[in-house]
């Protein structure tokens, strides 16, 4: 068996077990973007990639794929070791997996530690609307489409919300705003919702991404960690966005958030959510 960096010609190799995975050549973006493969007699057996994110760069994001017929033979571990041996970057790895899945058990075997959990978040829109009920707002607060808010104010709300949600476990990179807002600007602003206070400030924000696959995605939280009536604000934003998405024909979606989100997590617990919990794991 040969273990080597992924060459440009290798990116066209697409065995069925690699379906949906984008294979990159080694060093595709920068020195921290590394990719290795394992092959035997010309047959691709496994691949591993790691890269530094543009929004979060304190860890290298790791993805390992192995031919199902060659799993549980130590090949994944060898691929991870191969990545480590490619370059001088000493940042630890971070990976995602469904809780309790073979991928999660593999990460545990490598010494991985869970640093965050994303609970089951797939919901039927009609059922979620019924579960939320009226979601009354505090006095002087109103919900409006995000398209009704000035772009500069909306961008400030997006950045502030994202920064505090990831504080402590996934600190943002210098200059992360550019990359975060590039993604946020793809949201449907008519279906997205802002809770606006009496002074015109955005107190909570729901961003709707109807075009995401396999299901539309909705994110929602307050724009600051310490926000009075935060749960009520989040529920009201979610309610308006869910209603707007249902009016456009969307019957099912997934939220995106974490068990540590202080206002979103309690709202989610009121909804009939299904799906796998996702764990985010750091490797030593």
Contact yes or no for 194/204 (Cβ under 8 A): yes
pTM of the model: 0.92
Buried b (16+ CB within 10 A) or exposed e, 195-219: bbbeeeebbbbbbbbbeeeebbbbb
Strand 193-196 to 142-145 pairing: antiparallel
* Count of all residues that appear for the chain in the document: 284
Contact yes or no for 227/204 (Cβ under 8 A): yes
Residue 106: partners with Cβ closer than 8 Å, 6 or more residues away: 64, 76, 97
User: Residue 34 has what pLDDT?
Assistant: 95
User: Residue 127 has what pLDDT?
Assistant: 98
Q: Walk along the chain (284 residues) and give the pLDDT tens digit of each residue.
A: 999 999 999 999 989 999 989 999 999 999 889 999 999 999 999 999 999 999 999 999 999 999 999 999 999 999 999 998 887 688 999 999 999 999 999 999 999 999 999 999 999 999 999 999 988 899 999 999 999 999 999 999 999 999 999 999 999 999 999 999 999 999 999 999 999 999 999 999 999 999 888 999 999 999 999 999 999 999 999 999 999 999 999 999 999 999 999 999 999 999 999 999 999 999 98
> How far is the C-alpha of 185 from the C-alpha of 166, rounded, in Å?
20
């Amino acid at each position: 068996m040969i273990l080597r960096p992924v060459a440009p010609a290798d990116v066209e190799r697409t065995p069925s077990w690699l379906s949906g995975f984008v294979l990159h050549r080694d060093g595709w973006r920068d020195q921290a973007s590394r990719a290795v493969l394992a092959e035997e007699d010309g047959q691709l057996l496994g691949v591993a990639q790691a890269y530094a994110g543009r929004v979060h760069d304190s860890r290298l994001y790791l993805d390992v794929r192995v031919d199902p017929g060659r799993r549980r033979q130590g090949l994944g571990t060898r691929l991870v070791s191969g990545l480590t041996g490619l370059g001088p970057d000493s940042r630890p790895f971070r990976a995602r997996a469904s809780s309790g899945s073979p991928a999660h058990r593999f990460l545990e075997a490598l010494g991985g530690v869970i640093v965050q959990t994303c609970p089951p978040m797939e919901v039927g829109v009609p059922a979620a609307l019924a579960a939320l009920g009226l979601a009354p707002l505090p006095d002087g607060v109103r919900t409006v489409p995000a398209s009704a808010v000035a772009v500069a104010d909306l961008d400030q709300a997006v950045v502030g919300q994202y920064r505090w949600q990831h504080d402590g476990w996934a600190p943002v990179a210098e200059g992360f705003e550019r990359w975060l807002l590039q993604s946020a600007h793809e949201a449907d602003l008519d279906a997205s919702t802002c809770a606006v206070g009496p002074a015109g400030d955005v107190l909570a924000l729901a961003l709707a991404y109807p075009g995401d696959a396999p299901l539309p995605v909705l994110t929602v939280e307050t724009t600051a960690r310490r926000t009075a009536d935060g749960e009520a604000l989040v529920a009201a934003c979610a309610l308006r966005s869910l209603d707007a998405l249902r009016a456009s024909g969307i019957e099912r979606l997934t939220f995106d958030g974490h068990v540590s989100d202080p206002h979103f997590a309690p709202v989610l617990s009121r909804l009939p959510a299904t799906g796998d919990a996702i764990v985010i794991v750091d490797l030593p």
